[in-house]
Structure 1
Amino acid sequence: MKIEVIKIDDLAIHEHHLEIIYGADKFKFATKVFYHDISFSALQEKYSQQLIERIAAHIALFEGMKLCSLFPKYYDISNISQHLEKPVLDLFVKIYQGVFGQHWYENNVTDYQQPEIIYSADLGESNPEQIFGDNQTILTGCGGGKDSIVAMKMLQEADLPFASMQYSHSVYGKADLQHKLISQVLENVQPVKKHKISIFDDFIDFPFLQLYFPENSGITAPETPVSIFESLFLMLAGGYNYLCLAHEKSANTGNLFWSEIGREVNHQWGKSLEAEQILDRFVRENLLSNFKYFSILQPIYDFRIFQNLSKYPEVIPQIHSCNIQKPWCKKCPKCAYVWLGLMAFCQPDRVDAVFQTNLFDDEDLLPTFREMVGLSVHTPFECIGEIDESRLFMKRCLEKGLSGKALEMFRQEILSDSSIDWQNIEQKYNFVYLKEHAIPDALFAQLKDKF
């Protein structure tokens, strides 16, 4: 089966949520984005109806990108085109090609660039407006993992006020459980306000792909880029000018170079500095002129992030990063990687109390650990660090006297190589990169001794 056209059939703005109906030829899907503390009627009174409709249209456009997992020929945006501008079509292509490299690779697709975007009504014009007020509070994303808590601790210790933004998504399971887990992490910091977004998506939640497209590797979604647009309503309501996320430096590095298409495949591209700068500039030039988006952790690698996390051992039982079964499935690359970093820098008994098993001895995870340390075709398609970073973590684990089959594999196949310059590798990953980030100068001056 092939899908010819995906389409935005309808976009409705209700009092507290957006409802978007998509078509994929004869099939229909719905995405609903709920804002727990936003009144859209109040927002339209404060700002213009046109601005609210434009932002909603951008959310609908990028939420629809997940349907491009079906490799459609066309993406029909006629029903929202009047609220979009020409530059967003160029942005869509950049985001699609950055995010979907892994999907092409997994499906061995080498001759598909993106769907052709079609529309019968004219596009609108770029007309950026201003966020009202001068709120110095930084809206800060919190997904409940190690990066989020380290980022918020840094802001708090630098006396920079921040509000938290947490969101749940159908792809991660029940919304109530996701919000409960994130709320437990937030108990360790003091945001001036807490915001919640809940996304319900039946294209992802239903077994559509498995039944109708069993040969397809799965659904890819531009989760980080679309979350930037979804945060804009919170910024308008709260008068926030700064949006801060917690993406580390290793997000800039791909999993492999795919020679068949002549480009790098990077699972984390949507979190990269390149994507960050593209999105930041687009929003400021086309939607909100006094908006600024940056990642607070972009100057450092996970090597320093785990070090910083070890200063807060009380949060280890509360953080969660697994994308399969929250809080931890203990079987996926993400669980294995976070376990590795925690064991390298934190007290092993505290980590054991959470995981209650030695993942280094899990036979099912041995291929994953081999991929992490560069003994396979590519690193795992997950949000994890670079090869040398994982190697450093394993070396530290051995130096701490830890044991397991994965560590023995590392000892025999990597550590035995006397040509490896471990000192030089550690200098790279333990360094603070003062210029390779987009943090505003005034904020960075207050943060730079917190890295």
Structure 2
Amino acid sequence: MQIETVKILTVKIQDHHLEILYGIDEFQFSTKIFYHDVSLDFLIQRYSAETIHRFVAYIALFEGMKFCSLYPKKFDISVIAEWLSPQTPKLFNQIYRGVFAQNLYENQMTNYSGAVLVYNQDLTEKKPLKIRGENPTVLAGCGGGKDSFLAMKLLEDSNLTFASMQYSHSVYGKADLQHKLIDNVLQHVQPINAHKISIFDDFVDYPFVQLYCPHLSGITVPETPVSIFESLILMLNFDYQYLSLAHEKSANTGNLFSAELGQEVNHQWGKGYEAERIINQFIRDNLLDNFTYFSILQPLYDYRIFKNLSRYPEVLPSLHSCNIQKPWCKKCPKCAYVWLGLMANFEPNVVDAVFQNNLFDDPDLLPIFRQMLGLAEHTPFECIGEINESRLAMKKCLEKGLSGLAMDVFVREVLSDLTIDWQTLEDKYNRVYESEHAIPDNIFQGIVNQL
């Protein structure tokens, strides 16, 4: 079926949550965003209803981007238009082209340039506000994986004050389970506050795409960009000026270049440095001029992140990163990649206690390991490191005496290539990059010795 129009129908601000109703032609879906320790009524009194509506408008806009997975002709945002700045359509298109490149590639939609934003009034300039107070606390995102743990540990070991922000979404299953798993990770660090946001989204819950659009590959959710806008409510409520996520340098590298799309396809684009700079500048120009968003792990490749993580073997049983079945399905690219990195850097018995399987010997994972090692058309569409990072990790596993079907492939098809300069690769991926990041200097100087 061809979708004509996605439309934001209503946006309601309740005391502790937002309710957004969307229309897709004759169908309707809702998204609810709950803030576990925020009173939106209080924020309206503190800042004004107009101010909070401005922030909520951007949440509604980017939560609605997931409906572009259906390739609509129009996205009607009239109901929130009065709160949006003239720069909004450009930002929307930039994020769409970056985040949805994989979706476009998989569905061969090379002639689709995105939904046209339509609205019933002019978008007007809005002067950015200021977060009140001078709170030096860093709000650190925590999804329960190795990166967010290490990012918080960096702040803690550097004696920098931080609060955690954990985020659940229907796309990952039951909210209670997600929060419980993240709580287990937070037991290993000491945030001054632990904030929770829960997203309940019936569009991703329902089998709409499978039944009405079975020819499409699935739903793409611009999770990182929209979570940044959703975090602004916490920034306002608690006077935080710094938002730090845990996105590594490896996220800047795409999976392949598509000549048909005329661009790189990067599953992790929303996490990368380009997206970080675009979103940070937009928020500073249009919403909060004393706000700073950055990734505290941007100076590091994943290869070094695994190495630094090995300082904390006690956290391993609490970590989770699988997007299929938490904590680990042991059958997907994310599980294979994380397992590889852990085996390369930890004592094997410590990793075995968590995974209990030798993933090198799983025939179902063999095509995935081939992709990770650069022996296929492109790397897996997952949040994993570069090809040479996987190769270095595999080499370390071999030196530890690990074996299996995937290791046989590595020895036969990669290690036999005598032109590979392993020392040069080690030097590239195991260093700290002191530029090419947006970490404020006062924070970077505080953490650099821990990196």
Q: When the two structures are superposed, what TM-score results if normalisation uses the length of structure 2? A: 0.99
Answer yes or no: is 1:148 the counterpart of 2:153: no
More deviation, 259-268/3-12: 259-268
Partner of 1:135: 135
> How far did 1:123 drift?
2.0
Deviation digits for residues 308-334 of structure 1, max 9, x if unmatched?
Answer: 110000000000000011000100000
- Report the Cα offset of residue 261 of structure 1: 2.0
Residue 273 of structure 2 aligns to which amino acid in structure 1? Answer: L
The one-letter code matched in structure 1 to 2:91 is: L
Alignment of 1:25-104 (within 5 A): 25-104=25-104
**Equivalent residue runs for 1:9-408 within 5 Å:** 9-408=9-408
Partner SS state of residue 376, structure 1: coil
SS of 1:80's partner is helix
Q: CA deviation at 1:161?
A: 0.4
1:222-278: CA deviation from partner (whole Å, max 9, x where unpaired): 100000000000000110000000000011000001111221000000000000000
Deviation for aligned residue 1:347 = 1.0
CA positional deviation for 1:344: 0.3
Distance in 2 between residues matched to 1:124 and 1:55, nearest whole Å: 15
Aligned-pair distance for 1:88? Answer: 1.2
Deviating beyond 4 angstroms after TM superposition, the runs of 4 or more aligned structure 1 residues are: none
Find the aligned partners of 1:124 and 1:38 in 2 and give their Cα distance: 29
Residue 49 of structure 1 and its aligned partner are, at CA, apart by 1.2
User: Which digits, 9 at most, give the CA deviation of each residue in 1:376-414, with x for residues without a partner?
Assistant: 000000000000000000000000011111011101100
Taking only the aligned residue pairs, the percentage that are identical comes to: 65
Q: CA deviation at 1:122?
A: 2.9
Measure, in 2, the Cα distance between the counterparts of 1:86 and 1:253. Answer: 31
Is the aligned partner of 1:429 residue 2:429? yes
Q: 1: CA distance between counterparts of 2:129 and 2:262?
A: 40
What whole-Å deviation, never above 9, does each CA across 1:328-348 have from its counterpart, x for those lacking one? Answer: 010000000000000000111
Q: CA deviation at 1:288?
A: 0.7
What residue ranges of structure 1 are gaps of 5+ in the alignment?
none
Amino acid at match of 1:38: V
Tell me by how many angstroms 1:124 deviates.
3.3
Aligned-pair CA distance for 1:113 = 1.2
Q: Which amino acid aligns with 2:399?
A: E
Q: Aligned equivalents of 2:149 and 2:172: distance in 1?
A: 19
Are 2:2 and 1:2 equivalent residues in the alignment?
yes
Deviations 1:5-39 (A, max 9, x none): 00000100001000000011011000000000000
Secondary structure in 2 aligned to 1:247?
A: coil
Q: Tell me the CA shift for residue 45 of structure 1.
A: 1.1
Query: How many Å separate the matches in 1 of 2:393 and 2:387?
Result: 10
Task: In structure 2, list runs of 5 or more residues that go unmatched.
Answer: none
What one-letter code is carried by the residue in structure 1 that aligns with 2:127? Answer: N
Give 1:135 shift.
0.6
| Aligned mates of 1:374, 1:259 — CA distance in 2 | 19
Inter-partner Cα distance in structure 1 for 2:421 and 2:227 = 40
**How far apart in 1 are the matches of 2:82 and 2:255?**
38
C-alpha separation between the residues in 2 aligned to 1:347 and 1:51?
Answer: 52
Corresponding pairs, count: 451
Residue 200 of structure 1, CA deviation? 0.3
Aligned to 2:446: 446
Deviation, 1:50, is 1.0
Aligned mates of 1:259, 1:326 — CA distance in 2:
36
**Is the contact between residue 105 and residue 261 of structure 2 (CA under 8 Å) also seen in structure 1?**
no
Cα RMSD between the aligned structures?
Answer: 0.6
Cα deviations by residue, 1:144-187 (Å, 9 ceiling, x for unpaired): 00001110110001000000000100010000000000000000
SS at match of 1:317: helix
Q: CA deviation at 1:125?
A: 2.3
Q: Secondary structure at the match of 2:114?
A: coil
The amino acid of 1:13's aligned partner reads I
Residue type of the alignment partner of 1:382: E
Q: 1:72 is paired with a residue of what secondary structure?
A: coil
